[in-house]
Amino acid sequence: MTLHNRTVRQDVRELGTLLGDVLEEQTSRRAFETVESCRTTAIDYRSGDLESREPLATELNNLSPHQQRVVARAFTTYFELINLAEERERVRSIRTGSQEETLEDSLETAAAELAETDVETVQQVLEDVLIEPTFTAHPTEARRKTVKSKLRTIATHLETLDERLLTDKERNQVWRDVDAEVTSLWQTPQVRKRQPEVADEARNVQWYLENTLFDVVGEVYDELDDAIDEEIGHSLEIPKLFEFRSWAGSDRDGNPYVTPEVTANTLERQREVVLEQYRTQLKRLSGVLSQDGSRIDVGLEFEAGLEDDRELLPGSARTAENRYPGEPYRQKLKLMRERLARVGDVRPGGYEEVDELLEDLEVVAKSLRNNGAESVVDAHVDPIRRQVATFGFSLASMDLRDHQQKHTDAIAAALEREGIDYHGLDEDERVELLTDAVLQDEPVIDLTDTEGLSEDSERVLTLFDELGDWQTEYGVHAIDTYAISMTEEPSHVLEVLFLADQAGVVSLPEHCGLDIVPLLETEYALSGARRIMGTLFENEAYVQALEARGRTQEIMLGYSDSNKENGFLAANWSLYKNQRRLGEICDDYDVTMRLFHGRGGSISRGGGPMNEALLALPNSTVTGQVKFTEQGEAIAEKYGNPRIAERNIEQMLNAQLRARLYAEQRPEERVDEEWIEAMETMADAARQEYRDLLESEGFVRYFEQATPITVIEDLDLGSRPASRSGERTVEDLRAIPWVFSWTQSRCILPGWYALASGIDAYLEDGGSEETLQEMYDEWAFFRSTLDNAALSLSRTELEIAETYAGMADADLRDRFFPRLSEEYERAAELVTTIGQREELHTRDWLGENLERRNPYVDPLNLLQVYLLDRTHRTDIEERTLRLTVKGIAAGMKNTG
């Protein structure tokens, strides 16, 4: 059976040829020949036909500013198109693997493992699992929305060519449309002319939820249901396994543009989007449920529900009866659509809770089953029920977030009016004051009295004042989580509890409308986890809040800042250790822990294959519930294409089901003490080497001179500022531009630096390569850590990085670049030795990917260096420089 008509090589070749034709048509033959010359020269060097890149650099440097811009645009557009070709190849691989039953990490393989235990355990594992991807607006998406839209259209045409049987005439028509879209893409500005607003970021997240995930989730549930029936032979109840959450429009940390008004507008728009989706689905269902009421018995429960709706909406009921005489299901669906239209409306009769809609769908399903229409329920009703259970009336529940210092300052300002010097209290005194305030009935501060306060403090108090109104209007579940950045003391958590109490969102012991989530990201916070969490779990007020939230404590771990502070290896080990520690603390206090992994798209910020990451977590931390951030270009890559989105979710679910089963069977992960000691030695030495690099005199200047950080800070990637205070220090710089800058210069230092120093310290201390190889083979954490470092090492190009280093002052270059090079070379040697392989990476597709891409990234890198090194740039050169950043990001398929 032939599933596909094309290959990735064919797609790359024909898209490249088409782009060349468009380039010549839109510019000139000379421009086309210039781009071709740069392309072939870059390929000649990579293939060994040239001894150096000097001819390419000379050619690029001698071009006019206009010609340089054409070259930058050509290679940037090339990568945008080639990324589509590779996406199509991923889809081919998924479809072929599914047909041949060779897909790894499938739901069938998860069901097969579950089948090896008893049915009760399987049901318990299913009940325990809840996966919460959380979409953030962190500015790591370099492409404009307009550009993404055009590329998505081209992707749809490629799918048609690949998967449909077309006549020659039809095929020519499709290519005509591709030609038109590529031409339009060439004429469209690649670089944003304005900074995105928060509303833009929120709409971007909503697009993926509405256009991809809304349909895909139901298919994943169906696949799991079928797999369990096939492997286990019992009809088990599949509970809610996914919940999507968002920070877009509600994450205030470092972003002054996320106002209460923006949050309110985001909540309203999300509700409108999801309700319209349900109305559309019910309208479609109405086309299916055309049963004649005189030939079936709909049942007493259905009749009673329909009669209740008629009494609730008499006018709409008459319309339904006139439009659908004798068709009870259609009448019911018409009234259900009307009730959805009245959610949040001044008119009565709307659904008050999402459970009411689920009950109506269950009544319809039960009636159909009783009339022998089980297949209709499976095909048409159950998918809607899954969607409603997953997306509710909010599409994605929103998390609030802000920096702990903002809460402290706002409370201090408000309490000062009451004669209390909050800033003057020590930690124990703050905890006591906040606890007493939460437990007493009368409010302590007036959240509406913000006159004379700083802008930040006014914003904090206003937010909490409006939070109660939002929960009343949209439901508690629509916005019920508050993450606290840089949590380092118990009082930082109690401050949010206090503010929520003053707002009426918390009323203990009966009600707590917030999960309060400490974000532990500094070494001080992580090492003090027992001090922080233990104090909270013994605090009278906080214990009541925990009880009201089902004794579940969400704790967020910050991968990005931990890496930037400690380096790759030390950060990974610290996070692993502290996850185990947090699991022990929660077990000691009989609290269910939900870890929230603050992961970024790049390896250095916690990225990498999600299914492997989930399986590498310590068993003691796998409670079944897991939450993680999805951000930037990773969202587009994972969720832009429905088939890839489905596969991504399937792999997550496979990993989490298996991880929870393993945790049930082996609650305490057995890790050899010798391995623990080895990791301690390696991590300590790696952290020392990494910190020594960052704190070396002149390193910040080297970073500024040898990477395009100054350009990246000015790019309109997102609504949030690039640094916290505008200072040029590594500590103050946000993790995203820090990683983005090194990625652009092809020296992906945050993903591997000090790994070699750490391993060598262990070997010099008497350790053996054999032990490290054993750790790699048998310990998922260590294997995942080294494999992720290998990905960053594979994408690093020292020759290109050396060209960037050439821009730095000679003394800085001579001090730092050899140090980075030696660390890289030794790390590459150690990773291949420990992994017992010849290549750095273990993925064949990555080798093909790099071979295909590297020659085309080189001209953009060399052109970027030339422009960065110019003392004065014209406007066109400035625009070209910014375009090279976009092009390299597309070529590397990664920013920060």
Which residues are known to be catalytic?
A: 138, 564
Specify the DSSP element, H or E, that contains 397: strand 397-403
**Both tokens assigned to 571:** 């950060």
> C-alpha angle 530/659/641, rounded to 5°?
110
Q: Shortest CA distance to 675 belongs to which of 596, 576, 597?
A: 576
Specify the DSSP element, H or E, that contains 234: none
> C-alpha angle 312/316/319, rounded to 5°?
145
CA dist 148 and 135 (Å) reads 18
CB neighbours of 28 closer than 8 A, spacing ≥ 6? none
Report the DSSP pairing between strands 592-598 and 552-558.
Answer: parallel
Cis peptide before 509 (omega within 30 of 0): yes
**235 Rama sector, left if φ>0, alpha if ψ -120 to 50, beta otherwise:** beta
| Max CA pair span of the chain | 91
Report the DSSP pairing between strands 481-485 and 515-520.
Answer: parallel
CA dist 503 and 445 (Å) reads 10
CB 705 within 8 A of CB 815: no
In the block, tokens 């898209």 appear at: 15
**Could you give phi then psi for residue 20, rounded to 5 degrees?**
-60, -40
CB 282 within 8 A of CB 435: no
CA dist 617 and 784 (Å) reads 10
Bridge partners (DSSP) of residue 482 are 400, 516
CA dist 69 and 64 (Å) reads 9
Work out the angle between the directed axes of helices 107-114 and 214-232 (0-180°, nearest 10): 40
Long-range contacts of 421-430 (CB under 8 A, 24+ apart): 427/489, 427/490, 427/491, 430/489, 430/491, 430/494
**Both tokens assigned to 871:** 């003392």
CA dist 570 and 766 (Å) reads 20
Q: Shortest CA distance to 176 belongs to which of 195, 190, 157, 192?
A: 157
> In this structure, which amino acid lies at residue 474?
Y
* Tally of CA atoms within 13 A in the half-sphere of 476 that contains its CB: 10
Burial class of residue 221 in the structure, from the number of CB atoms within 10 Å of its CB (0-12 exposed, 13-18 middle, 19+ buried): buried
CA dist 526 and 529 (Å) reads 5
**Could you give phi then psi for residue 320, rounded to 5 degrees?**
-65, -40
**Both tokens assigned to 109:** 């393989």
Helix (H, G, I), strand (E, B) or coil at 628: strand
Bridge partners (DSSP) of residue 625 are 130
Residues listed for the chain: 896
CB 687 within 8 A of CB 105: no
